[in-house]
Amino acid sequence: MGNINLRPHIVLFQPDIPGNTGTILRLAACLGLVVDLIEPAGFRLDDKSLRRAGMDYLERATLTRHRSWEAFEEWRKSEQRRLVLLTTKGHESYTAFAFEPRDCLLFGRESAGVPEMVEHAAQQTLTIPMAETGRSLNVAMSVAMVAGEAIRQLS
Protein backbone atom coordinates (compact mmCIF):
# COMPACT_ATOMS: atom_id res chain seq x y z
CA MET A 1 0.00 0.00 0.00
CA GLY A 2 2.98 2.34 -0.03
CA ASN A 3 3.57 5.48 2.02
CA ILE A 4 1.60 5.51 5.30
CA ASN A 5 0.71 9.17 4.69
CA LEU A 6 -1.00 8.23 1.42
CA ARG A 7 -3.33 5.58 2.81
CA PRO A 8 -6.91 5.86 3.99
CA HIS A 9 -7.26 6.47 7.71
CA ILE A 10 -9.76 4.64 9.91
CA VAL A 11 -11.49 7.25 12.07
CA LEU A 12 -13.43 6.32 15.21
CA PHE A 13 -15.84 8.95 16.52
CA GLN A 14 -16.01 8.75 20.33
CA PRO A 15 -16.03 4.93 20.52
CA ASP A 16 -17.95 3.30 23.40
CA ILE A 17 -16.61 -0.26 23.56
CA PRO A 18 -12.92 -0.87 24.33
CA GLY A 19 -12.94 -4.39 22.87
CA ASN A 20 -14.06 -3.08 19.49
CA THR A 21 -11.40 -0.38 19.50
CA GLY A 22 -8.73 -2.94 20.43
CA THR A 23 -9.85 -5.20 17.59
CA ILE A 24 -9.75 -2.27 15.14
CA LEU A 25 -6.26 -1.27 16.31
CA ARG A 26 -5.09 -4.85 15.80
CA LEU A 27 -6.59 -4.89 12.29
CA ALA A 28 -4.94 -1.56 11.47
CA ALA A 29 -1.55 -2.77 12.71
CA CYS A 30 -1.81 -5.88 10.53
CA LEU A 31 -2.91 -3.92 7.45
CA GLY A 32 -0.55 -0.97 7.92
CA LEU A 33 -3.34 1.58 8.42
CA VAL A 34 -3.58 4.56 10.76
CA VAL A 35 -6.42 4.91 13.28
CA ASP A 36 -7.61 8.36 14.32
CA LEU A 37 -9.64 8.40 17.52
CA ILE A 38 -11.85 11.41 18.16
CA GLU A 39 -12.26 11.90 21.89
CA PRO A 40 -13.83 11.57 24.30
CA ALA A 41 -13.95 7.79 24.22
CA GLY A 42 -16.40 5.97 26.48
CA PHE A 43 -13.49 4.22 28.24
CA ARG A 44 -9.90 4.82 29.31
CA LEU A 45 -7.35 4.01 26.63
CA ASP A 46 -5.48 1.80 29.10
CA ASP A 47 -8.63 -0.32 29.61
CA LYS A 48 -7.99 -4.04 30.19
CA SER A 49 -10.47 -5.16 27.51
CA LEU A 50 -8.86 -2.82 24.95
CA ARG A 51 -5.48 -4.45 25.66
CA ARG A 52 -6.99 -7.96 25.58
CA ALA A 53 -8.65 -7.38 22.18
CA GLY A 54 -5.58 -5.65 20.71
CA MET A 55 -3.14 -8.15 22.21
CA ASP A 56 0.50 -7.36 21.46
CA TYR A 57 -0.50 -5.51 18.29
CA LEU A 58 -1.34 -2.30 20.17
CA GLU A 59 2.34 -1.36 20.33
CA ARG A 60 2.52 -1.73 16.53
CA ALA A 61 -0.66 0.21 15.78
CA THR A 62 -0.45 3.81 14.64
CA LEU A 63 -3.01 5.70 16.71
CA THR A 64 -3.58 9.44 16.58
CA ARG A 65 -5.83 10.91 19.25
CA HIS A 66 -7.79 14.09 18.55
CA ARG A 67 -9.09 15.89 21.65
CA SER A 68 -12.35 16.90 19.92
CA TRP A 69 -14.31 16.83 16.66
CA GLU A 70 -13.11 20.38 15.97
CA ALA A 71 -9.46 19.41 16.45
CA PHE A 72 -9.89 16.45 14.10
CA GLU A 73 -11.56 18.62 11.45
CA GLU A 74 -8.77 21.19 11.66
CA TRP A 75 -6.20 18.43 11.10
CA ARG A 76 -8.21 16.75 8.31
CA LYS A 77 -8.71 19.94 6.36
CA SER A 78 -5.04 20.91 6.70
CA GLU A 79 -4.15 17.48 5.27
CA GLN A 80 -6.75 17.85 2.48
CA ARG A 81 -8.34 14.50 3.27
CA ARG A 82 -11.85 13.56 2.14
CA LEU A 83 -14.31 12.57 4.90
CA VAL A 84 -16.26 9.39 4.09
CA LEU A 85 -18.90 8.46 6.67
CA LEU A 86 -20.09 4.86 7.02
CA THR A 87 -23.66 4.86 8.30
CA THR A 88 -26.83 2.81 8.19
CA LYS A 89 -28.42 6.00 6.76
CA GLY A 90 -26.13 6.00 3.71
CA HIS A 91 -27.58 5.28 0.27
CA GLU A 92 -24.49 4.20 -1.68
CA SER A 93 -22.92 0.80 -1.07
CA TYR A 94 -19.28 0.89 0.01
CA THR A 95 -18.49 -1.62 -2.76
CA ALA A 96 -19.77 0.78 -5.46
CA PHE A 97 -17.63 3.67 -4.19
CA ALA A 98 -14.21 4.66 -5.56
CA PHE A 99 -11.89 5.03 -2.56
CA GLU A 100 -8.91 7.38 -2.65
CA PRO A 101 -5.64 7.11 -0.71
CA ARG A 102 -6.35 10.28 1.32
CA ASP A 103 -9.81 9.23 2.53
CA CYS A 104 -10.76 9.34 6.19
CA LEU A 105 -13.17 6.44 6.73
CA LEU A 106 -15.33 7.58 9.64
CA PHE A 107 -17.23 5.16 11.88
CA GLY A 108 -19.59 6.42 14.59
CA ARG A 109 -20.19 5.47 18.21
CA GLU A 110 -21.56 2.00 18.77
CA SER A 111 -24.42 3.44 20.84
CA ALA A 112 -25.41 6.49 18.81
CA GLY A 113 -23.56 6.83 15.48
CA VAL A 114 -22.53 10.44 14.85
CA PRO A 115 -24.29 13.74 15.53
CA GLU A 116 -25.88 15.67 12.67
CA MET A 117 -23.01 18.19 12.47
CA VAL A 118 -20.57 15.34 11.78
CA GLU A 119 -22.92 13.82 9.20
CA HIS A 120 -23.14 17.17 7.40
CA ALA A 121 -19.33 17.50 7.31
CA ALA A 122 -18.94 14.25 5.36
CA GLN A 123 -18.25 14.59 1.65
CA GLN A 124 -19.72 11.11 1.14
CA THR A 125 -21.96 8.77 3.13
CA LEU A 126 -21.78 5.05 2.46
CA THR A 127 -23.52 2.00 3.83
CA ILE A 128 -22.96 -1.73 4.06
CA PRO A 129 -26.03 -3.34 2.49
CA MET A 130 -27.74 -5.77 4.86
CA ALA A 131 -30.79 -8.00 4.88
CA GLU A 132 -33.92 -6.12 5.92
CA THR A 133 -33.94 -7.95 9.25
CA GLY A 134 -30.45 -6.65 10.09
CA ARG A 135 -30.25 -3.44 12.11
CA SER A 136 -26.49 -2.92 12.18
CA LEU A 137 -23.16 -4.73 12.18
CA ASN A 138 -20.50 -4.67 14.86
CA VAL A 139 -18.27 -1.64 14.20
CA ALA A 140 -15.07 -3.72 14.15
CA MET A 141 -16.59 -5.99 11.47
CA SER A 142 -17.72 -2.93 9.50
CA VAL A 143 -14.22 -1.43 9.64
CA ALA A 144 -12.72 -4.71 8.44
CA MET A 145 -15.10 -4.95 5.49
CA VAL A 146 -14.65 -1.35 4.34
CA ALA A 147 -10.89 -1.22 4.93
CA GLY A 148 -10.54 -4.47 2.98
CA GLU A 149 -12.44 -3.03 0.03
CA ALA A 150 -10.43 0.21 0.10
CA ILE A 151 -7.15 -1.75 0.16
CA ARG A 152 -8.37 -4.01 -2.68
CA GLN A 153 -9.19 -0.99 -4.82
CA LEU A 154 -5.98 0.90 -4.06
CA SER A 155 -3.55 -2.03 -4.37
Give Cα 107 to chain centroid, integer Å: 5
CA torsion 23→39→108→147, rounded to 10°? Answer: -50
Per-residue tens of pLDDT for the chain, all 155 residues = 455 557 899 999 999 998 899 899 999 999 999 999 999 998 777 757 666 655 666 778 888 999 999 999 999 999 999 999 999 888 899 999 999 999 999 999 998 999 999 999 999 999 999 988 877 889 999 999 999 999 999 98
CATH of the domain at 103: 3.40.1280.10
Q: What is the span of the domain harbouring residue 94?
A: 4-154
**Does residue 62 contact residue 35 with C-beta atoms inside 8 Å?**
yes
- Which contacts qualify for 114-121: CB closer than 8 Å, 24 or more apart? 114/13, 114/85, 114/87, 117/69, 118/13, 118/69, 118/85, 119/85, 119/87, 119/89, 121/73, 121/83
The number of domains in the chain is 1
Whole-model pTM over 0.95: no
